[in-house]
Every structure is written in structure tokens, then in C-alpha cells.
Structure 1
Amino acid sequence: MNRQEIDKRIANLREILNLPEKSRIISRLSGGQQRRVSIAITMIHRPRLIILDEPTVGVDSLLRHKIWQYLENLCQTKGQTVIITTHYIEEARSAAQVAFMRAGTILKQSAPNQLMSEYQCSTLEEITRV
């Protein structure tokens, strides 16, 4: 990547992830800000596969929605694959595939709407109780 491309991606990720000024020292940021900086660092070079562990923990609902939109856009327009672990299963409703795991084993995997239909549930959260 050339410097111009790096600067453009940094600016884009700073806006999307609501990152603090560049001059701030990472160790002095809040936990949520540090998490978002980590996400930006992971995504700056647009890897083909992105694995994120609970990327929206500690962020407000508007930013959570913005992050999910950005990740969905990467998958749809840039051909990237994003794997996310989350305890907030409802936020994964717009994902192409959802897998329920326990003790490292996939119990069920399918499109969210297909799972809700199969289990006759109106939310993904309800499936965890079936």
C-alpha cells in the first residue's frame, strides 16, 4: 500500500469507528476506544479474512450499527469474509450465516431467517432457549 492509500483508509476508519485524534496515546484511551483502534489496525490493509472477537462490546448502539454496516459492506463489495464471535446474538441477524456453538462444537449453522423459521422463533435469541 502506498502512503496515500494508507492515509485514505485511516481517515475512513477514523470516521466509521469514531476514533479519537491521532495524537492520543493508545494506552491512555478507554477500553472501548482501544477496542476500536484494534479493529482499525486489523482492517487497514483489507485482509481477505477478518476474525473479530466481540468487536462491539462496550460501544453504543449507534456505533454498533455503524460497525455492522461497514463489515457487511466489506463482505458485499470487497469480497472479504468476516467471522465474528458475539454474545449479542441479535446483532448477527443481518449476517449471511450464523452458527451456534457450545464447548467448541457447532450445534447449528444456517442463514438467520432460515434458523428462525426452522425453530419457529421471531428472534435469534429465542433459538438459544429451544
Structure 2
Amino acid sequence: MASSKSFITAFLLALTLSSMSMSLAARHLMQTSAPNIPTLPKPTLPPLPSIPTLPQGTIPPLPPVPTLPQGTLPPLPSVPTLPQGTLPPLPSVPTLPQGNVPSLSQPSLPTVPQGSSHSH
């Protein structure tokens, strides 16, 4: 267990030192001026050759489209009629017995006396 702790400590120390040296190297690069790039001579390109014109051939006319014979379709078969079945009558819904629920009397509300308004 102690060896893994010492390995982690050594790894973190190396990471810290490398990040410090990286930041110093980055600062050094930012403070230097850009190098002078020499201007290169521009070569002159030869003129492009002219494109030769191709001879225009004549296209023969298209042959006429042959007409297909018009076939007659047979008549559609008739849909057979299905026998109409009669549905049995629906059963009657049974009635539930009515229980006697006692009625509750309305409680009387107290009346609020109408007093005169108070003024200060």
C-alpha cells in the first residue's frame, strides 16, 4: 500500500514540474518575435493549350414507338351478399334496491349584526 502512495506522490510531483516547465516554455514562445519569412519568386506559368473542337456528328432519328394491342378486361366478379343474422335481444339491467337514506337537517347559521362603521 505504501508503494502505491509513493508512486502517486511521485507521479503528481512529476506532473506538477512538467506543467510548470510547459507554462514557462509557452511564456518564452509568446515573448519571442515571429521569424522573417523570405519572399519566394513567383514562377510564370506557360499559357494553357487551346481545347480542340470535336466534330459534331449527326444523330439518327429515333424509331417510332410500336403500339401495343389493347386487350379487353373481363368483368369484375360480383360480391356475394351475406345473410343478415338477427341479434338476440340485450338482457335487461337489474334494478338495485333503493335504501332509505335519512335526510340531514340544515344547521342554522348565526346572524352577523350590522354595526355602524368605526371612524378614528
Shorter-chain TM-score above 0.5 = no
Higher relative contact order (CA 8 A, sep 6+): 1
Q: Who wins on radius of gyration, i.e. which is larger?
A: 2
> Which one has the bigger helix percentage?
1
When the two structures are superposed, what TM-score results if normalisation uses the length of structure 2? 0.16
When the two structures are superposed, what TM-score results if normalisation uses the length of structure 1? 0.15
